[in-house]
Structure 1
């Protein structure tokens, strides 16, 4: 079995299931995929990452990126690569690699830049960390509770809400 776009999407969904199992189940049904296929894709991805010869980049698995370029992070120049994935139209999976090729960050972004959101627009699988951070003055970014998790506390109408993300993609909104 080759590892391609479908398997990569399933491996991402495996981690998303931590915070939004119902949405992942809907996506599996839409893809015609089973939970067993989800687990198998995640297990294979994990084995590849921890093998003596892990994949050096996603290009071999996903094909050429929809965007490849550089960005400055402080005084360093880093490589940026992005891939469009069918399950998340309008978003791209971005990998930021340091000068030595090591992966510094990987998450979903909106390639056109952050979208302005009203609070009611913050819904699972519809927005990314950049959208939420740019749309709500006073938003506080926090580390998540597991690998590839992120959180942003958002003030709204006198209350604080925590928006939970996996790979930078909104999964859930909770009142604090």
Structure 2
């Protein structure tokens, strides 16, 4: 009797946990120790993180891929909030979702009027206490978001990121002795990863 070919098992859904692993995978380049601690907190292995990132990249590159906005909604569910925001002449909708790994942060997607996502990053949650940023010593990994650093040390100048999901700020901040130093703050998914101080 001829055996019927076995059916291919259905693909496992991409979950909010998988999405958090995608965020962590990009941050591992700068802060492997923090990422390892976060993985242990989530109860996942480095192989799980790599697999989640591999599946995420495949989803983005698939010829049948949905829009980023639709993709985030299918993975993360309905946004916790959706707020109209005007940036220059452009009126956008800021949609945000909670991120269990960082309870004081939200994953925010800025949606243009035509429905496309033009910015995706972590921001401080409404009502959460913002960090006190006064000197370079306060700019520690994962301590603040892009907006918080820019407000603390004006005038900060945006810099093009070295890779997708990365962002930079050129700013001047005092060191522990009060000497103002020029530096570049590097962010991944909107969260501070490291600061390079000019000599």
Structure 2 unaligned regions, length at least 5: 1-11
Counterparts of 1:129 and 1:14, CA distance in 2: 19
1:97 matches 2:108: no
1:117 matches 2:122: no
Q: CA deviation at 1:104?
A: 0.3
Contact 1:95 1:105 in 2 (8 A): yes
Counterparts of 1:31 and 1:59, CA distance in 2: 22
Q: CA deviation at 1:144?
A: 1.6
Give the match for residue 62 of structure 2. 51
Structure 1 counterpart SS, 2:143: coil
Give the match for residue 84 of structure 1. 98
Counterparts of 2:101 and 2:125, CA distance in 1: 15
Query: How many residues in Structure 1 have an aligned counterpart in Structure 2?
Result: 176
Structure 1 unaligned regions, length at least 5: none
CA RMSD of aligned residues (A): 1.8
Contact 1:153 1:160 in 2 (8 A): yes
Give the match for residue 173 of structure 1. 195
The runs of 4+ residues in structure 1 deviating greater than 6 Å are none
1:138 matches 2:160: no
Counterparts of 2:138 and 2:34, CA distance in 1: 17
Task: Deviation per CA, 1:63-114: give whole Å up to 9, x if none.
Answer: 1211112222333322211011011121111001111111100001113389
TM-score (norm 2): 0.81
Counterparts of 2:155 and 2:90, CA distance in 1: 28
Counterparts of 2:45 and 2:138, CA distance in 1: 30
- Does 95-104 or 154-163 show the bigger shift? 154-163
1:34 matches 2:31: no
TM-score (norm 1): 0.91
Contact 1:80 1:97 in 2 (8 A): yes
